[in-house]
Amino acid sequence: MFPSQRFTITTYLSPDDVQKKLLAVVDPPPQGIQFQWKRSEKPYQGQIGEHSFKISRIIYYRNSFLPQIEGRIQPHGRGSQIEIEMKLHSIVIIFMCVWLSMVGQFALMFVVVLFQEDFEPAFLIPVGMFIFGLALPGIGFSIEANGSKKFLLELFQGIEENSIEQR
């Protein structure tokens, strides 16, 4: 129901080189509450392990649908294969489920009332809110996910394989 993307990047870079490339563009996650007076020079933040990473893009605006990017780095021939999954933050998924269930109940009530009484355009507001609530995560997520996917392909100088987009 919620958007996510899975894809694999194959590159001639060794797993160590992939990790070095990531370290060059990823800041460690902020500790506690921080006020950023200075913008980071790196476009991403997160954690980088020996064979995996969890990162997200650093943005200076609000977007609750920013993809959380998880990757696994594996040796592949003379290079590496990086399996990447982009998904919404779990708190956003929980909030959207609660919000959509409440709005969906109102929309259903108004649709039932619509067939019993005279048509009032105001009855369509909850239906519109429900449709908007379904579309918003996909739009907000896909714009950011496509940008991150392009960035990672260029960073690793790789080619994409096995792309699966779930909506």
Amino acid 33: pLDDT: 63
**What is the per-residue pLDDT for 120?**
75
Could you list the mean pLDDT of each consecutive 10-residue stretch along the chain, which spans 167 residues? Answer: 91 95 92 68 94 94 92 95 96 94 88 72 84 92 95 91 66
Look up residue 107 and give its two tokens.
């929309």
Q: DSSP for 80-113?
A: EEEEEEEE--HHHHHHHHHHHHHHHHHHHHHHHH
pLDDT at residue 164, rounded to an integer? 66
Ordered by start, the domain boundaries in the chain are 4-88+144-166, 92-130
Range 4-88+144-166 has CATH code 3.40.50: no
Q: CB count, 10 Å around CB of 73?
A: 27
What is the predicted pLDDT for the residue at 57? Answer: 94
